[in-house]
Amino acid sequence: MCNSNILIKIIENMGKNIIENKDYLTELDRAIGDADHGINMSKGFSAVDAKLDEMSGKDWGSILKTVAMTLISTVGGASGPLYGTAFLRASTVVDGKMEIDKEDIINMFEQAVEGIKMRGKSNKGDKTILDALIPAFEALKLAYEEGKDTKIAFKMAEEAALEGVEYTKDIIAKKGRASYLGERSIGHQDPGATSTYIMIKSINEVLEQ
């Protein structure tokens, strides 16, 4: 259903959007962290960009694994290993596949969520990446269960991710640097949830092309 060329386009678009939002993500992190989230993510995705040619034509698993290893090895900070683990876990369910279907998409997403939960010892409500990723995954799964097509399912996932980002403003950070602020983290939007939203939006932009 979806061949691996589309994944290359998605990864490329994620990089473009992350790099375009470098300052925005960094400013969000300035309020409740150490002002480097945009810098970290841009560095990681620039390194991923440099490997796009080499990844082209490979299977889904290999591409996702290269993205994972590149993020882990180039991104300083918490977000590198977390996103790296998400991509790595996702890669395991599509190992060797040139084409994937809806079930693979659900499995990849689920593994990404589980990977971050495990690596970050975190869950929904901690004011992290997971506050965008878990609602997005749940919306995607529900949309598929209701028989929606991939484009619509991802649109619903994007909306749920955005709601999740908004929700991070209302809650106390329980994980990562922002947790040092305790109650003072309330009122601020989580940078990691925001980068997750940008990545999901990047998937949609390619699906809509």
Q: Which of residues 32-71 bind Mg ion (CB under 5 A)?
A: 33-34, 36-37
Binding flag, residue 174, ligand ADP (CB under 6 A): no
Residue partners of 180: CB distance under 8 A and separation at least 6: none
Q: Nearest residue by C-beta to ligand ADP?
A: 192
Exposure of 165 in the CB half-sphere (CA atoms within 13 A): 19
Q: Which is nearer to Mg ion, 60 or 197 (CB)?
A: 197
Among Mg ion, ligand ADP, none, the one that 82 touches (CB under a kind-dependent 5 to 8 A) is ligand ADP
Q: Which of residues 81-110 bind Mg ion (CB under 5 A)?
A: none
Among Mg ion, ligand ADP, none, the one that 116 touches (CB under a kind-dependent 5 to 8 A) is ligand ADP
Among Mg ion, ligand ADP, none, the one that 15 touches (CB under a kind-dependent 5 to 8 A) is none
Q: Which is nearer to Mg ion, 29 or 158 (CB)?
A: 29
Binding flag, residue 176, ligand ADP (CB under 6 A): yes
Binding flag, residue 78, ligand ADP (CB under 6 A): yes
Among Mg ion, ligand ADP, none, the one that 200 touches (CB under a kind-dependent 5 to 8 A) is none
Residues that bind Mg ion (CB under 5 A): 29, 33-34, 36-37, 77
